[in-house]
Chain A
């Protein structure tokens, strides 16, 4: 069998995932559309957020009325937190819901760009790892921060492709490849993917997976885009494993030059 066709499962924190695509559950126009998109994406792990219950019942947002925790592995995030203290608080609340001890740690440092505060992220990561959490840390595409997060005991490090919700795609493939080359824990590229070619190009860098939300939820047809993302991630993974041809700055003919008619 061609070795390129052999790919093991994605192993994160002792848990095996067949899909290398992790998807968010926010911004869908309806819960039915969300569930349809999640299923079309083939993702096993899906992210959720912790928020106050609306006691006036003007909005019904409880996602677990629609999302079966037996069907999807829930990864609670700390989105919206701007300090390590808040992120730790949200992570503890999420764990108290009783599903698992995993958290997508996200500490934002700037409202305009939503870029991560890597210092606060590292501080929170240390506390949460100490408390027994399995931390998947969202970070920027900085190698040193990624190494520090790995040292802190994170089960996965998740550098961004480009800012959250931007859809700009992979802006810094060189740094992403460098992070992947240097870390032992899985590297999941989180945020910034805009369409299937972005997902494919990201996976072609050799990273272990991709996490996205807006690219699917904000598509005109989220269910079809979810399927496109699933195929894009698979294609990129397979292309990486297959090993691409070298780039050349001159043309090389594909057809024989001998045997041409006089």
Chain B
């Protein structure tokens, strides 16, 4: 009998907009945005203080301890 690694869902623990969040290992920024129902064109994403360009969203795979900020424009003076 063997235990397949794929039978256990591994997760990563990270922080999104200042709050802790767990996501399946291997989740990309695109996957994160989908999980919170946001369209990539409506927000700007910062990963560990570096702003990502939209073409990078697919390839940016999230890791334990990552700090993500998802921002947009709101009313202000």
Q: Which A residues contact B (CB, under 8 angstroms)?
A: 24-28, 34, 47-53, 55, 61-64, 74, 76-77, 79, 89, 92-94, 96-97, 164, 191, 211-214
Contact A62 to B16, CB < 8 A, known contacts A93-B46, A97-B44: no
Question: Contact: A74 with B19, CB < 8 Å?
Answer: no
Interface pairs (28), CB distance under 8 Å: A25-B76, A25-B77, A26-B77, A27-B75, A34-B75, A47-B76, A48-B73, A49-B73, A49-B74, A49-B77, A50-B44, A50-B72, A51-B72, A51-B73, A52-B18, A52-B69, A52-B70, A53-B70, A53-B72, A55-B36, A62-B42, A63-B73, A64-B73, A79-B76, A93-B46, A96-B53, A97-B44, A164-B77
Interface size on B, residues (CB 8 A): 22
Q: How far is the CA of A55 from the CA of B72 in the complex (A)?
A: 12
Question: Contact: B17 with A52, CB < 8 Å?
Answer: yes
Question: Contact: A24 with B51, CB < 8 Å?
Answer: no
Report chain B residues within 8 Å CB of A74: 73
Q: How far is the CA of A49 from the CA of B44 in the complex (A)?
A: 13
Q: How far is the CA of A39 from the CA of B35 in the complex (A)?
A: 36
Q: Quick one: which of B38, B44, B75 contacts A93, CB cutoff 8 A?
A: B44
- For the complex with contacts A53-B38, A63-B75, A94-B73, 13 further pairs of A-B residues with Cβ separation under 8 Å are A26-B74, A49-B74, A49-B75, A55-B16, A55-B70, A63-B74, A74-B73, A77-B77, A93-B46, A93-B71, A94-B44, A164-B77, A214-B77
Tell me how far the C-beta of A217 lies from the nearest C-beta in chain B, rounded to whole angstroms: 8
Question: Contact: B51 with A62, CB < 8 Å?
Answer: no
Report chain B residues within 8 Å CB of A77: 76-77
Residue of A nearest to B53 (CB): A96
Report chain A residues within 8 Å CB of B61: none
Q: How far is the CA of A63 from the CA of B38 in the complex (A)?
A: 14
Q: How far is the CA of A25 from the CA of B8 in the complex (A)?
A: 49
Nearest 6 CB-CB pairings of A with B: A49-B76, A24-B77, A213-B77, A25-B75, A48-B73, A26-B75
Residue of B nearest to A165 (CB): B77
Kindly identify, within residues 23 to 73 of chain B, every residue whose CB is under 8 Å from any CB belonging to chain A: 36, 38, 42-44, 46, 49, 51, 53, 69-73
By CB atoms of chain B within 10 A, which of A64, A74, A93 has the most? Answer: A93
Residue of A nearest to B49 (CB): A89
Question: Contact: A62 with B77, CB < 8 Å?
Answer: no
